[in-house]
Amino acid sequence: MAIFEKAPAKINLSLDVLHKRPDAYHEVAMIMTTIDLYDHIELTPIKSDRIEVTLYSRFVPNDERNLAFKAARAFKNKYHITNGVHINIEKNIPVSAGLGGGSTDAAAVLRGLNKLWNVRASVDELAELGAEIGSDVPFCVHGHTAIATGRGEKIRRLPPPAPCWVILAKPDIGVSSGTIFRNLDIKNIRHPNTKKILQALYARDFMKLCASIDNALEDTTVRLYPEVKYIKEKMQMAGATGTMMSGSGPTIFGLVQQQSKAKRIYNSMRGFCQEVFMVRILG
Ligand code: ATP
């Protein structure tokens, strides 16, 4: 019997980089929330002790480099599973976009295998395993709205933002998080006011949230890829109440409460890039 898991994309409401750690990772504080843009994962048991991945994407490998494959291998090793699995990924989330596409696939595989093989691992255990795969995986295992600290593995659940629409506009480039972190001038970055964003979430204050969202990586990504700034300006001019780059970019998102306004912004952004989405926050 196959297991189906939805793998939602995330956006960052904030991303702060505090310092570089002795283990070469960066200490971060990221407030993230899930949105209703999904990859779909299908897990089917197979007789041999193997992991197979199928997906249609020009940009994502279907071998052991795939984060879904890595998640299945980590799960099998941790729980000493000798069964095999076929993973089919229906990819809808843009790749190398700052929307956590690979991480959410990995998280969905961990959740799904837990059911398929009846392991009964807790969400915390799955998130801990996910941290070995990537720093956004623990958040994706938990979902909803949360702040991730440490190198992304410490998760604290937060109240969701006030209901709103999210318009995503991805410039026609892919950005590697590694490149952005390597080019980060850590002494001169702008730090988001994380406390203010937390206050806005607890107060469910949409205007305050929009005024406070911020991303310490944005200046670096913009320096390397000026088109990101161009798309952000277009999103602001189109009338989004809050606008920011998600993750290490290049996707720019706009937040707005009225559906009619969201539609107008969506239509206007389609004139500037091919990948534009209008979605809701799942939170
Ligand atoms: P984040 O926001 O977590 O930094 P991202 O959205 O910027 O992630 P991804 O879409 O996760 O980036 O892709 C980053 C890299 O991971 C790409 O080079 C891609 O080929 C690779 N990758 C491996 N497995 C997957 C997967 N299942 N889905 C998407 N990308 C994957």
Any atom of ligand 1 within 6 Å of the Cβ of 98: yes
Stretch among 18-22, 78-82, 138-142 having the lowest mean pLDDT? 18-22
pLDDT at 268: 97
Any atom of ligand 1 within 6 Å of the Cβ of 103: yes
> Rounded CA gap, 171 and 181, in Å?
20
Any atom of ligand 1 within 6 Å of the Cβ of 215: no
- The answer to whether the CB of 193 falls within 8 A of the CB of 214 is yes
pTM: 0.96
Of residues 84, 135, 104, 74, the one with CA closest to residue 6: 104
Of residues 30, 29, 28, 15, the one with CA closest to residue 218: 15
Mutate to test the pocket of ligand 1, among 26, 38, 43, 95 (most ligand atoms within 8 A of CB): 95
Tell me the two tokens of residue 231: 């798309």
Query: What average pLDDT does the structure give for the chain?
Result: 96
pLDDT digits (tens, 9 = 90+) for 22-48: 888 899 999 999 999 999 999 999 999
HSE (side-chain half, CA atoms, 13 Å) at 157: 8
Mean pLDDT of 246-262: 97
Bridge partners, 242 (sequence order)? 255
The question of whether 170 is a catalytic residue gets the answer: no
> Rounded CA gap, 22 and 221, in Å?
24
pLDDT digits (tens, 9 = 90+) for 147-189: 999 999 999 999 999 999 999 999 999 899 999 999 999 989 9
Of these residues, 39, 105, 136, 214, which one is catalytic? 136
Mean pLDDT of 112-139: 97
pLDDT digits (tens, 9 = 90+) for 124-133: 999 999 999 9
Residue bearing the CA closest to ligand 1, atom 15: 96
Structural domains of the chain, with CATH? 3-157 (3.30.230.10), 165-280 (3.30.70.890)
Question: What is the percent of the chain with per-residue pLDDT over 90, rounded to a whole number?
Answer: 94
